[in-house]
Amino acid sequence: MHKTVKWTAATAMASLLMLAAACSSGNNETGNASESNGTNAMNTTNATDTTNTGSGGNAAAEADPYLGKYDPPITLTSVRIINDTFKFMEGQTIDNNMWTKALEEKLGIKVKYDWVVSGDQPGGQGEQKMNVSIASGDLPEVIPVNAKQLQQLQDAGELEDLTAVYDKYASPFLKEILNQDGPAALSAATFGGKLMAIPNTGSSMDGAAMIWIRTDWLQKLSLEPPKTMADVLKISDAFTNQDPDGNGKKDTYGIAMNKDLYGGFADITGLLNGFHAYPKQWIKDASGNLVYGSVQPEMKQALGALQELYKKGQIDKEFGVKDGGKEAELTTSGKIGMEFGQMWNPLFPLVDNKKNDPNAQWQSFPLVSNDDQPVTPQVGFSTGQYFAVKKGAEHPEAVIKAMNLFVETGWGEATTPENYAAYFTSEGFEKFKMMPFQAWPSRKNLDIYLHITAAIDSKDASKLNAEEQDNYAKIAAFLDGSSKDPLGWAYERIFAKEGSFKVIDGYVNGNQLKMTEFYGAPTPAMVEKDSTLQKREIETFTKIIMGDSLDNFDKFVTEWKKLGGDQITQEVNEWAKSK
């Protein structure tokens, strides 16, 4: 259920990660490492030898179950799936780098890859290679898998039960991180009450939709920020018809959209959520059964609203042939005044609008409702990878100890700028990618916002960790005028007092986020039929928005059910009953 993003993943998320300390695919947590021995992971001293308490006879490792070093060292086999974004510093490789050295020097864990394949996209060479390994039974000790592969290995009885191992060896800090996004991540790796893998967690809250609006246009046209969907429609009309750019031409649009309809920028999800419609998401109906959001009655009303916007010229007439990149060009050239997107949009593409027009100002606002019922922004399941252990492995706890090291290094109480350099360097190397076993705090970015805004109020950045200080410096330089770098503006629009995380903080505090109710492996009918159904959904919705009869939605729902939707729904509900 991870993002089905194309251009956003290649652009915005690359920016979030490579710009050395603002946003990343995980999130920030500080102040909790004292619960896990208060150790600075990259500077942890070796545990002294005591009596053998297990762990394959390695007493030194048992003295500190979280970060104790194996002496003598052990070798842990695994596999890696990489992509073209993996960049190696001089003299380093996927087999020999700062993280493989840290694992050996700090924990006494040598990592040996049975194979390394480039191609991590769904259905790519990496997934295919893993499928071959599963089919042949030629498996390493630590097996990185997706949800479908995890289910296959579990069904085949190939996996070690990690329940007791997790309880003993996962540090309190790692346990907190794995639960920050709610219980779904660990639940997805649990079968019959047994934990069979450790999830590589991310952040669902970071993907919540919001409204980005050119506030300089609002001010010019004497409009207020939206509080209702009617307000959004009023603003869209004004941005289309009242010449907000002042060039005397009717050449602007109220709302941006892209041909894929989703993706995190120029995305219809936030607008649909305002009508209590939840595209591509499994939700509970009034009876407690799971139903597919895209075929519920609320979707028809929302599509009708989009159809009206298109008919009135408030949406680019050519959106149906423009992907996110092309729609971004329209936005950066100053022809768009509002878009439904995600927290990272200032880094792509809004910063380029700011570069082209220094007077342009964008701000994020919470989603608004079409009626008197509160809006509940949908968020997807943020875990796409799991670390399973081959049944009978001598050291099933080793992968957990490695993950303890990863989280303590980046976000433990005693982390340092030197430690943080194990994730990034100023040259843009994403060194965290060298680490084979990861988990990311879901609150990382939200906590950056909370800590930075507190530091702005107090004018005291001394309590910020290394990552937060880096972001604070960029924002402070922009705010005091000592830096004209537009990226400073982008970071300020994300992490400062009126940044996008103010919106997310409001969602979290208001318990508004609506998590998907299905987070299992694709069901058999999904594997066979879902891609066809998804394609038909996009085609139908696009045609309705562009003028087809709204009654075609009802025909689509009937076809969806007959072509596999009913079967998928049955399987999803069977899964839900098994949890």
What are the angstrom distances between the C-alpha of 571 and each of 166, 290, 514, 525?
A: 30, 10, 22, 8
Q: Are 89 and 152 in contact (CB under 8 A)?
A: no
Q: What is the mean pLDDT of residues 215-228?
A: 98
Residue 556's identity, in one-letter code, is F
434 Cβ contact partners less than 8 Å away, ≥ 6 residues apart: 86, 88, 92, 94, 97, 98, 99, 100
List b or e across 1-21, with b for residues whose CB sees 16 or more CB atoms inside 10 angstroms.
bbbebebbbebbbbbbbbbbb
- Tens digit of pLDDT for each residue in 529-577? 999 999 999 999 999 999 999 999 999 999 999 999 999 999 999 999 9
Whether residue 349 has a cis bond before it, omega within 30° of 0: yes
CA distance 504 to 512: 10
- DSSP string across 174-231: HHHHHHTT-THHHHHTEETTEE--EEE---SGGG--EEEEEHHHHHHTT-PPPSSHHH
Half-sphere CA count of 272, side-chain side, radius 13 A: 26
Q: Are 374 and 227 in contact (CB under 8 A)?
A: no
Structure tokens, 441 = 């705090």
Q: Where are the beta strands (DSSP E) in 201-296?
A: 210-214, 282-284, 290-292
Q: Which of 17-21, 34-38, 152-156, 464-468 has the highest mean pLDDT?
A: 152-156
The answer to whether residue 513 scores a pLDDT higher than 70 is: yes
Helix (H, G, I), strand (E, B) or coil at 194: strand
The answer to whether residue 42 scores a pLDDT higher than 50 is: no
The fraction of the chain above a pLDDT of 90, given in percent, is: 82
CA distance 63 to 46: 10
The answer to whether residue 186 scores a pLDDT higher than 50 is: yes
pLDDT-derived band at 386 (thresholds 50, 70, 90) equals: very high
What are the angstrom distances between the C-alpha of 371 and each of 22, 270, 291?
A: 36, 15, 22
Q: What is the CA radius of gyration of the chain?
A: 25
Q: Provide the 10 A C-beta neighbour count for residue 510.
A: 11
CA distance 206 to 341: 11
Helix (H, G, I), strand (E, B) or coil at 55: helix
Q: Is the dihedral of CA 78, 81, 85, 91 positive or negative?
A: positive
CA distance 154 to 139: 13
Q: What is the pLDDT of residue 56?
A: 53
Query: What DSSP element (H or E) covers 131?
Result: helix 125-136
Q: Is the dihedral of CA 474, 478, 484, 488 positive or negative?
A: positive
Query: What DSSP element (H or E) covers 142?
Result: strand 142-145
Q: Provide the mean pLDDT of the chain.
A: 89
Helix (H, G, I), strand (E, B) or coil at 322: coil
CA distance 242 to 533: 40
CA distance 262 to 277: 14
- Taking each helix axis from N to C end, the angle separating 486-495 and 500-509, rounded to the nearest 10 degrees, works out to 10
- Tens digit of pLDDT for each residue in 463-493? 888 789 889 999 999 999 998 889 999 999 9
Half-sphere CA count of 540, side-chain side, radius 13 A: 23
- Tens digit of pLDDT for each residue in 100-149? 999 999 999 999 999 999 999 888 999 999 999 999 999 999 999 999 99
- Tens digit of pLDDT for each residue in 234-264? 999 999 999 999 999 999 999 999 999 999 9
CA distance 149 to 139: 12
Structure tokens, 258 = 């892209």
For residues 552 and 29, the model is more confident at: 552
Q: Are 276 and 298 in contact (CB under 8 A)?
A: yes
CA distance 349 to 338: 13
